[in-house]
Amino acid sequence: MTPTRTPARPVVGFIGLGDQGLPMATAIAEAGFALHAWARRPASLDALSKVPHRRHDTAAQLAAACDIVCLCVRTDADVLQVAEQILQELRPGTVVVNHGTGLPGNAVRLTQLCAKHDVEVLDAPVSGGRPAAEGRRLTTMVGGPPSAAERCTPVFRCFSRHVVHLGEAGAGQTAKLFNNALLMMNQASIGEIVELATELQLDAGRLTEVLKLGSAASAALSLLNTMVRPDNVDHLSAVETVDMELFDHAMREAGIDSTAVTGRGLAGARGLAQLLYRINA
């Protein structure tokens, strides 16, 4: 049975079926929303074969059919590239949602670009990674018009445990960058403790397991040897470094000196592989 479009059940388009995007799109379809999808590589759409959805040959075709268009692509440049492909086809009143991590300033610029077409924009980056996306327990941080956030919240709740509207355009991206920075700062602190433990010839692996059980527990600790593993640590370290560079760019664009926070966050990102090595030695 094809889902019916109503104000409570908008037609949702999804572009970006990557590590997090695929389970998010799957959750939307499984919740009963009419899901439309487009991908640069058509073969990527095969991953949606188990849920009802409609495929499109172009991003513009998808845009013309949808009330909400969700983007989960890698960079701000990718977001703007897709926006250029779909803007002329979006109906007035459509909401474009950017679930990727980017600069708050670019969220504002995208909002201004879409406003010329009477299209609203939400920056709604997510936190939790693929395991949380698959478990429908992401945290979605939303910036943009309250009315648009209210319209889109039922969609966000398909894949989120928490949905928080933080303010106007860029607020969601700012929260996500702060979230990432604090994670990496915590990694730097864990690395310093583990280094001291190694000098004292303590079992660093057993120590970190104990720390996870006490008042020192944190997401940064819990991710070690679960989401952060020897087979992906170098990739994650590189991704985190890029995230900290985005944070630094955002702070400088806002006229804020974040030198100390940026430096500590980069230390945590760049030291992640060494930290994992020490606790697994």
- Same-domain status, 183 and 155: no
In a domain, 6, yes or no: no
Domain membership of residue 2 (yes or no) is no
Residue 228 domain-assigned (yes or no): yes
In a domain, 4, yes or no: no
Q: Are residues 161 and 179 both part of a single domain?
A: no
Number of domains within the chain: 2
Q: Is the same domain home to 77 and 93?
A: yes
Query: Average pLDDT, stretch 229-253?
Result: 97
Residue after which a domain boundary falls, among 147, 168, 189: 168
Q: Are residues 274 and 201 part of one domain?
A: yes
Distance CA 29, CA 155 (A): 10
The structure's pTM equals: 0.94
Q: Each residue of 73-98: pLDDT tens digit?
A: 999 999 999 999 999 999 999 999 99
What pLDDT does 9 receive? Answer: 86
Residue range 162-173: mean pLDDT, rounded? 98
- Share of residues in the chain with pLDDT > 70 (%): 97
Q: Which of 123, 153, 168 is the last residue of a domain?
A: 168
Number of other residues whose CB lies within 10 A of the CB of residue 213: 9
Same domain, 231 and 260: yes
Rounded Cα gap, residues 127 and 99, in angstroms: 10
State whether 266 and 251 are in the same domain.
yes
Residues 222 and 240 both lie in one domain? yes
Mean pLDDT, rounded, for 129-149: 97
pLDDT band with cut points at 50, 70 and 90 for residue 8: low
Residue 7 lies in a domain: no
Residue 3's pLDDT is 57
Q: Is the pLDDT of residue 1 over 90?
A: no
Contact of 147 with 174, CB cutoff 8 Å: no
Is residue 242 domain-resident? yes
Determine the residue type at 230.
P
Residues 146 and 44 in one domain: yes
Query: Has residue 213 got a pLDDT over 80?
Result: yes
Q: Is residue 265 in a domain?
A: yes
Q: What is the CATH number of the domain that holds 100?
A: 3.40.50.720
* Type and span of the H or E element at 127: strand 126-127
Same domain, yes or no: 98 and 225: no
Span 180-205, average pLDDT: 98
| 101 and 194 co-located in one domain | no
Note the pLDDT of residue 6. Answer: 59
* Domain of 191, in residue numbers: 175-280
Question: Is 33 inside a domain boundary?
Answer: yes
Q: Are residues 142 and 181 in the same domain?
A: no
| Helical pair 272-280 and 171-199, crossing angle rounded to 10 deg | 40
pLDDT, one tens digit per residue, over 267-277 is 999 999 999 99
- The pLDDT of residue 7 is 58
Of the residues 168, 184, 201, which one is the last residue of a structural domain?
168
Q: What is the mean pLDDT of the chain?
A: 96
Average pLDDT, integer, range 49-77: 97
Residue pair 19/100 in contact (Cβ under 8 Å)? The answer is no
Q: Is the pLDDT confidence value at 187 over 60?
A: yes
Q: Name the token pair of 42.
A: 């058509």
Domain at 245, CATH number: 1.10.1040.10
Whether 44 and 112 share a structural domain: yes
